[in-house]
Structures are given as structure tokens and as C-alpha cells.
Copies of this chain bind each other. A is one copy, B any other.
Amino acid sequence: MDEIREGEIPLDIDPATMPADGHVVFIGRVRSPWLSRQTCPKNMRAARETGQAAELDPSRGARAGRGGGCRGSLFSWLVRWARKFILQNPRHAAEPSGTFALRSPARPNPIGLHVVRLVSLDHAGGRLRLEAVDLIDGTPILDIKPYFASADAVSDATIAERGTP
């Protein structure tokens, strides 16, 4: 994961070795059908298209507070990836791009964002069933937030109607 491709530029200091500005704790892990990077869908659209469900196996009280039948934003911790690239050259891309213009899992803070449908909660086991997810089995989870279209889905049309401030 530390391979440097043509056109890629690392930061002067690797965030993986920088002093911490803050710390995270895992609240659970994903259980998914994807056992390797090769089989794992590349994004949530591709994951939904597989029709394969997934689960969250919560720890530390994550089971409290969510039922099924709604949408949520899942935050993952993408531990397997380099954190040092500011300019990177994904295999599918024609040329290098800035990390913050990409959804690449290689980022200074390796937090993934996955808008998921929460299908149901298994009250006995505490597992939360998801319609689909684009994460390898065992990936740690940091947070689950309710998804509100009014705040989280921004259409260009809405902005055009309001005009430029």
C-alpha cells in the first residue's frame, strides 16, 4: 500500500507517524460478503447493485438507538491504506488528482463515508442489518448518523433557485 505511482506526491510528514490531534475508538465492525479488496465493490452504488446485504456487529453500546427502515451515514476507519499522499494516481484515472478531489481510501485521516439503508435490527444479537455496503468484512466502524435529505443531499437545482449570496 506504500507503492508510489507516477505523478503521486507524498506529504513531507506521513500523517500515520504524526502526533495525534485526537483519537478514535471503534464502535463495532462490518460483517460483509467481501473478503478481499479484489471482490469488494468500489463504491456504494456498485455495492447496492450486487443485491448482497451486510451487517454491523456493534460493540460499546452501538446497538442502542437505531432500528431499521431508514437511511444512515456510516463512518468507517480504513486501516489498510497509506495516509501520506496529497496527490495520487488511482488505477482508473487518466492523471493524478489531489486527495481531497478523490474518494480514494488513501487519505490523511482514513475515514470512509457510506450512505446505507438500515434494514432491520436483530434485538437479540444486537446486529444491524444493512441493504449493502462497500466495505471488506471486519472493517472497523466509528459512527452511524441518521441521514437527512434536507441537510445531506444538495442538489444543484436548489442552489440555483436560491441565487448566489
Contact = CB atoms under 8 A, between A and B. Distances in A.
B24 A162 contact: no
Contacts of A124: none
A82 interface: no
Interface of A: 11, 15, 18, 20-27, 43-45, 48, 51-53, 60-62, 64-66, 71-73, 75, 77, 79, 86-87, 97-103, 107-111, 113, 115, 117, 131-132, 140, 142-156, 159, 162, 165
A96 to B, nearest CB: 9
A71 B159 CA distance: 11
Nearest to A141: B109
A98 to B, nearest CB: 1
Identify which of A23, A24, A75, A86 gathers the most chain B CB atoms within 10 Å of its CB. Answer: A24
Given A15-B60, A22-B77, A75-B111, 16 more contacts: A21-B23, A22-B26, A22-B140, A25-B109, A43-B151, A44-B152, A64-B99, A65-B87, A65-B99, A65-B101, A71-B156, A73-B113, A100-B143, A102-B146, A103-B146, A109-B142
B159 A117 contact: yes
Contacts of A71: 154, 156
Contacts of A43: 148, 150-151
